């Protein structure tokens, strides 16, 4: 490619590359080019030829300097290398690196157009440093945008930052290097400890700078649950009859400590009517919510739809790349004044789904959004851009609608709610009858997810007699609730460990490592043993204060108060003594860990109880065929076995059995969750071969379908032929008209020449 181009723009992902190239090209139709399986675009703007190319996330990663001694620890020196060199799974990154290297030689100016955050700044910088001509990173410009919309991209292009955002780059590079040094050193230490026992050849154990404290939260909660001793208490509840309707009432003391006391109250009140002695009415005002930041979006998404934080982040990133919402990785709760909210509302008004509510907001005298407390100088809150979606999946539609409705709600009036507390006296005891009424919906009209349930009471008067029935209920103190992915993320946020962009991913890693399982998170034996071992031998690794200190130091790099070398030196001073002490006790630590690893491996293979004997059904791999199947642990005495898929991940569903098999065969067959390649996860039963199959199509149905397809094909061919015939006729007619025109011209020219003569 010998042509010299004015600018080379580097994007983070292919989707963003397509979007940016279409916006920058003046015709809206950039030239699509493909070389060595890499797609890039050529746009024309202001008489300049611009090339737009993308990475595919991180093309470069951190590795230790002394790669030969991979299992030696501690180590401190790191380097950045191409991802495909380190990881075979990243081989798809090689063509991108080689192509950008080749492409950059013919470009004058370089622009980093990756996402404006730590990751985007680091990705763009590494591409410029390792793929482009020397010192290109020093002369490069930066595009800063929060939305992949025409306005956002053109504004960023016309107002390029004069240099790269080196404060974000330094912080990003440091974070990757610190996490690598911590994670790999500790993981090597744990693996070496297990290997030293000779009980296992190899088992991958890992713990990271943020993973350790996060796993400790779960382990501490588990200990509280296990040590909890429930105490009984009694409640008195009942129903009052007013007219034809019944309403729930409660005793003035919510918890009664002793059963005798509760029974005495029941005996003194039963069979007697109550009398209304007082009616308390109170009006409350509920303010509209603040605009979404990532944390609030993840919370509401989990509460209303059950999506985990990582699922919500992935969905919102897809919406961002489609230009439908602003950048989701933000902590901001204040809409900056340069965002034209009226234009966004005018665009949303064109949607049939949102037109009514958008119109109502636009009719307000002033558009004053509610503000939160948190700010983020890089990006605004999560807002709709005004661009309307063409097609969305069901999950994308739910999150997009949640964001749009939240946007409407921040402009609306407060909601007004009236609460009514009616006092009912019975033989010296007091019961309460509560009512709730929404007086003015306000913002709840636009954000129905938070709607309060109404309890509408009939008209009541003091002195009115109320007949009722009451019951005595024995209850027990509830144990501390288990954490779920969202409450765990909020706990990480509270303790200031991890970042808004990484917390969800860290929780996913704990699941992948086999340390935790279930939506209502339970810690596995292996997870517990890792925490206990580290608590006994190197408790600092689990310390939230140490992790928070490092987070603050890396934040200070971003604020240009500290440099990268200082933070890396601080890590060495802290982690060095811990690892040296660990090495001295390696075998002792390994013995603690090895047993729990073996137990975990057994549990992974355990499916459930055998349906023919007292044995256990397990995943077994045949020594001869190397194929896996489900068999009984009491083999050869019990030959009970079931076939299973040879590929994909199998996860047993604890304490559940197949309802179909129980109703049909009266046997409780265990359930499995299967994750097959290229398919969505699904639940099935070990006895799946005996389940009713979908009715097979008859030969006649198959033949009829074949005939229909043949008819369709012939119809298509006929249409193509007629279209081809029309085109041929048109071309012949065009040729004839052209010939006649030429003939007329030649005649005229001949006449003119004769007259001249």
Contact (Cβ atoms closer than 8 angstroms) between residue 8 and residue 109: yes
Would you tell me the crossing angle of helices 355-362 and 341-348 to the nearest 10 degrees? 150
671 three-class SS:
strand
CA-CA-CA-CA torsion sign (126, 130, 133, 135): positive
Angle formed by the axes of helices 309-321 and 294-305, nearest 10°: 120
Dmax over Cα atoms in the chain, in whole Å?
137
Dihedral sign computed on CA atoms, order 126, 127, 131, 133: negative
**Please, are residues 94 and 100 in contact by the beta-carbon 8 Å criterion?**
no
3-state SS class at 130? helix
- Per DSSP, the residues of 239-287 read EEEETTEEEEEEESSS-BS-HHHHHHHHHHHTT--EEEEEEEEEEEEEP
In terms of Cα–Cα distance, which of 163, 223, 131 is closest to 522? Answer: 223
Which of 203, 327, 537, 669 is catalytic? The answer is 327
Write 94-97 long-range contacts (CB < 8 A, 24+).
95/36, 95/37, 95/38, 96/38, 96/54, 96/55, 96/56, 96/59, 97/59, 97/130, 97/131
Do the beta carbons of residue 384 and residue 403 sit within 8 Å? yes
Retrieve residue 85's tokens.
Answer: 């060199």
Decide: residue 461, CB within 10 A, 0-12 exposed, 13-18 middle, 19+ buried: exposed
List the Cα angle 720/726/727 in 5-degree steps: 90
Q: Are strands 31-35 and 274-286 parallel, antiparallel or unpaired?
A: unpaired
3-state SS, residue 655:
strand
- 553, 160 in Cβ contact below 8 A? no
> Would you call 416 helix, strand, or coil by DSSP?
strand
Q: Is the distance from CB of 122 to CB of 115 less than 8 angstroms?
A: no
The rounded radius of gyration (Å) of the Cα atoms in the chain is 34
Question: How many other CB atoms are found less than 10 A from the CB of residue 355?
Answer: 12
Contact residues for 308 (Cβ-Cβ < 8 A; gap 6+): 302, 485, 486, 504, 507
DSSP per-residue codes, 529-587: HHHHHHHHH-GGGG-HHHHHHHHHHHHHHHTTSS-HHHHHHHHHHHHHHHHHHHHHTHH
Local structure of residue 145 (DSSP, 8 states) = -
d(CA 329, CA 502): 10
Q: Which helix (H) or strand (E) holds 667?
A: none
CA distances from 434 to 247, 456, 639 (A): 9, 9, 62
327 counts as catalytic: yes
User: Could you give the CA distance from residue 468 to residue 101 in angstroms, rounded to a whole number?
Assistant: 82
Are 50 and 354 in contact, with CB atoms under 8 Å apart? Answer: no
Q: Which positions ≥6 away from 673 have C-beta within 8 Å?
A: 650, 651, 652, 653, 681, 682, 683
Cα distance between the two ends of the chain? 58
The closest of 163, 123, 145, 162 to 24, measured between CA atoms, is 145
The residues that are catalytic are 327
């Amino acid at each position: 490619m010998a042509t010299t181009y004015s600018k080379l723009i580097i994007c983070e992902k292919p989707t963003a590359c397509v979007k940016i190239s279409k916006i920058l090209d003046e015709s809206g139709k950039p030239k699509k080019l493909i070389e060595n399986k890499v797609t890039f675009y050529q746009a024309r703007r202001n008489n300049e030829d611009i090339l737009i190319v993308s990475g595919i996330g991180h093309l470069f990663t951190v590795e230790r300097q002394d790669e030969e001694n991979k299992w030696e620890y501690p180590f401190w020196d790191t380097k950045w290398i191409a991802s495909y060199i380190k990881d075979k799974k990243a081989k798809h990154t090689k063509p991108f690196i080689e192509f950008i290297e080749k492409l950059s030689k013919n470009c004058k100016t370089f622009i980093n157009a990756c996402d404006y955050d730590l990751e985007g700044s680091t990705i763009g910088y590494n591409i410029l440093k390792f793929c482009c001509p020397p010192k290109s990173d020093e002369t490069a410009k930066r595009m800063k945008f929060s939305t992949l919309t025409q306005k956002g991209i053109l504004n960023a292009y016309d107002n390029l930052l004069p240099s790269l955002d080196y404060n974000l780059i330094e912080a990003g590079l440091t974070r990757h290097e610190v996490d690598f040094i911590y994670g790999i050193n500790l993981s090597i230490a744990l693996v070496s400890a297990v290997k030293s026992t000779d009980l296992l050849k190899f088992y991958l154990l890992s713990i990271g700078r943020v993973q350790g404290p996060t796993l400790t939260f779960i382990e501490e909660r588990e200990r509280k649950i296990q040590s909890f001793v429930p105490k009984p208490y009694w409640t008195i509840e009942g129903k009052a009859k007013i007219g034809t309707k019944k309403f729930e009432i409660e005793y003035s003391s919510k918890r009664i400590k002793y059963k005798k006391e509760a029974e005495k109250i029941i005996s003194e009140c039963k069979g007697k009517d109550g009398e209304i002695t007082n009616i308390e009415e109170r009006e409350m005002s509920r303010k509209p919510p603040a605009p979404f930041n990532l944390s609030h979006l993840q919370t509401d998404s989990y509460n209303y739809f059950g999506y985990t934080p990582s699922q919500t982040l992935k969905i919102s990133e897809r919406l961002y790349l489609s230009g439908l919402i602003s950048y989701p990785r933000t902590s901001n709760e204040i809409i900056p004044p340069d965002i034209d909210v009226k234009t966004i509302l005018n665009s949303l008004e064109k949607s049939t789904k949102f037109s009514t509510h958008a119109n109502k907001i636009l009719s307000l005298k002033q558009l004053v959004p509610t503000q939160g407390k948190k700010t983020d100088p890089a990006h605004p809150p999560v807002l709709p851009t005004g661009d309307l979606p063409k097609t969305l999946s069901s999950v994308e539609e739910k999150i997009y609608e949640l964001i749009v409705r939240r946007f409407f709600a921040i402009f609306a009036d407060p909601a007004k709610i009236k609460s009514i507390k009616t006092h009912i006296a019975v033989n010296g005891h007091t019961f309460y009858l509560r009512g709730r009424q929404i007086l003015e919906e306000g913002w709840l009209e636009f954000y129905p997810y938070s709607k309060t349930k109404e309890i509408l009471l009939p008209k009541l008067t003091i002195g009115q007699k109320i007949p009722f029935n009451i019951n005595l209920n024995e209850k027990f103190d509830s144990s501390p609730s288990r954490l779920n992915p969202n409450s765990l993320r909020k706990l990480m946020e509270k303790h200031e460990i991890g970042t808004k962009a990484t917390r969800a991913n860290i929780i996913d890693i704990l699941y992948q490592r086999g340390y935790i399982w279930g939506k209502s998170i339970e810690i596995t034996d292996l997870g517990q043993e890792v925490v206990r071992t580290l608590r006994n031998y190197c408790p600092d690794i689990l310390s939230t204060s140490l992790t928070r200190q490092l987070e603050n130091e890396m934040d200070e790099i971003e604020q240009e108060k500290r440099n990268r070398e200082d933070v890396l030196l601080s890590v060495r001073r802290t982690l060095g003594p811990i690892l040296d002490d660990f090495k001295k006790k390696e075998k002792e630590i390994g013995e603690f860990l090895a047993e729990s690893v073996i137990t975990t491996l057994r549990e992974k293979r355990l499916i459930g109880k055998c349906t023919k004997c007292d044995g256990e059904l397990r995943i077994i791999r045949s020594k001869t065929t190397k194929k896996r199947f489900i068999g009984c642990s009491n083999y050869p005495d019990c030959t009970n076995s079931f076939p299973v898929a040879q590929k994909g991940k199998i996860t047993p569903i604890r304490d559940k059995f197949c309802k179909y098999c129980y109703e049909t065969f009266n046997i409780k067959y265990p359930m499995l969750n299967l994750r097959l390649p290229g398919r969505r996860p699904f639940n099935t039963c070990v006895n799946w071969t005996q389940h009713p199959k979908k009715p097979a199509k008859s030969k006649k149905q198959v033949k009829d379908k074949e005939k229909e397809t043949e008819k369709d094909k012939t119809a298509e061919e006929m249409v193509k032929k007629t279209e081809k015939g029309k085109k041929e006729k048109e071309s012949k007619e065009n040729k004839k008209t052209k010939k006649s025109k030429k003939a007329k011209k030649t005649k005229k020219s001949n006449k003119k020449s004769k007259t001249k003569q």
